[in-house]
Amino acid sequence: MHFLPPNHYLAAEPYVGNNMIRDAILHTLTNILGPQRCLYRKEDLITFSYDAHTDESLPDAVLFPTTTYEVSQILALADQHNIPVTARGAGTSICGAPIPLHHGLVLSFTKMDSILAVDTKNRYAVVQPGVANADLQKALASEGFFYPPDPASLSVSTIGGNVAQNAGGPRCLKYGVTNDYILGLEVVLANGRVLRSGSRNVKDVTGYNLKSLFCGSEGTLGIVTEITVRVVPLPEAHRTILAIFNDLENTANTVSDIIGSGILPAAMELMDKVVINAVEDSAGIGLPREAEGLLLIEVDGIDEAVEKEMERIVAKAKTNGAVEVQEARTQAESDQLWTARRSAYGVFARLAPHCIVEDATVPVSNVPAMIRGMREIFDRHQLKVGILAHAGDGNMHPLISTDQRNQDEQKRVDKAIREVFELAVQLQGTLTGEHGIGTAKLDFLPLVQDETMKSVNATIKKGLDPKGILNPGKFA
Partner 1 sequence: MNAEEVYQCGKCGLCLSVCPVYHVTREEGTSPRAKVQLIKHFSEKDLDSSLYLQELMRKCLMCGACTSFCPSCVDHESVFMRMRAEMADEFGDNWKLRLFFHLLSHNERLRFVSRFMHIGDGLVHKLRKSNLRDIPLKRLPQLNTKSFDRQVAATNPPQCALKGTVLYFTGCATRYFFDQIGWSTITVLNRLGYQVDVPKEQMCCGLPLFFHGHEGQALDNIRSTINIFAREDVDAVIVDCATCGAALRHEYAKVLSNLGQPTEKAELLSSKVCDVSEFVAKHVDDLLPVLAQSTEAAIQISYHSPCHLRNSQKVSQQIETMLHSLPGVEYVRASDCESCCGGGGTFFYEYPDITRTMVTKKIENARNTGASLWLTGCPGCRINLQGNMDEGEELTVQHPIEVVAKLLTGK
The answer to whether the CB of 325 falls within 8 A of the CB of 297 is no
Nearest approach in angstroms of CB 399 to partner 1 is 10
Contact with partner 1 (CB under 8 A): which of 39, 61, 360, 396?
39
Nearest approach in angstroms of CB 345 to partner 1 is 6
Strand residues in 302-365 grouped as ranges (E): 322-327, 354-357
Closer to partner 1 by CB, 153 or 251: give it: 153
9 binds partner 1 (CB under 8 A): yes
What span, in angstroms and rounded, lies between the C-alpha atoms of 362 and 395?
Answer: 7
Closer to partner 1 by CB, 130 or 373: give it: 130
83 binds partner 1 (CB under 8 A): no
Nearest approach in angstroms of CB 348 to partner 1 is 7
Task: Looking at residues 42 to 61 of the shown chain, list those that interact with partner 1 (rule: CB under 8 A).
Answer: 42-44, 46-48, 50-53
12 binds partner 1 (CB under 8 A): yes
- Using alpha carbons, select from 400, 399, 389, 402 the residue that is nearest to residue 361: 389
Nearest approach in angstroms of CB 409 to partner 1 is 15
Radius of gyration, alpha carbons of the chain = 23
Strand residues in 308-413 grouped as ranges (E): 322-327, 354-357, 384-390, 395-402
Which amino acid would we find at residue 402?
T
325 binds partner 1 (CB under 8 A): no
Instruction: Return the SS3 of 466.
Output: coil
Instruction: Return the SS3 of 390.
Output: strand
Task: Looking at residues 165 to 194 of the shown chain, list those that interact with partner 1 (rule: CB under 8 A).
Answer: none
Task: Looking at residues 272 to 291 of the shown chain, list those that interact with partner 1 (rule: CB under 8 A).
Answer: 282-283
**Region of 104-112, 217-225, 239-247, 450-458 interacting with partner 1 (CB under 8 A):** 104-112
Q: How many residues bind partner 1 (CB under 8 A)?
A: 43
DSSP per residue, 76-106:
HHHHHHT--EEEESSS--SSSTTS-TT-SEE
Nearest approach in angstroms of CB 164 to partner 1 is 16
**Region of 106-114, 206-214, 250-258, 358-366 interacting with partner 1 (CB under 8 A):** 106-114
208 binds partner 1 (CB under 8 A): no
Closer to partner 1 by CB, 130 or 429: give it: 130
Residue 434: Cβ-neighbour burial (10 angstroms; 0-12, 13-18, 19+): buried
The answer to whether the CB of 249 falls within 8 A of the CB of 290 is no
CA dihedral for 298, 434, 91, 413, sign (positive or negative): positive
State how far Cα 255 lies from the chain centre.
Answer: 23
384 binds partner 1 (CB under 8 A): no
Alpha helices in 121-245 (DSSP H): 133-141, 159-165, 172-175, 210-214
Nearest approach in angstroms of CB 7 to partner 1 is 8
Nearest approach in angstroms of CB 140 to partner 1 is 18
- Using alpha carbons, select from 95, 91, 89 the residue that is nearest to residue 360: 95
Closer to partner 1 by CB, 134 or 460: give it: 134
The answer to whether the CB of 92 falls within 8 A of the CB of 157 is yes
Contact with partner 1 (CB under 8 A): which of 156, 425, 445, 448?
156
Contact with partner 1 (CB under 8 A): which of 4, 18, 111, 236?
111
Which parts of this chain interact with partner 1 (CB under 8 A)? 9-12, 39, 41-44, 46-48, 50-53, 64, 90-92, 108, 110-111, 113, 130, 134, 153, 155-157, 282-283, 343-350, 353-355
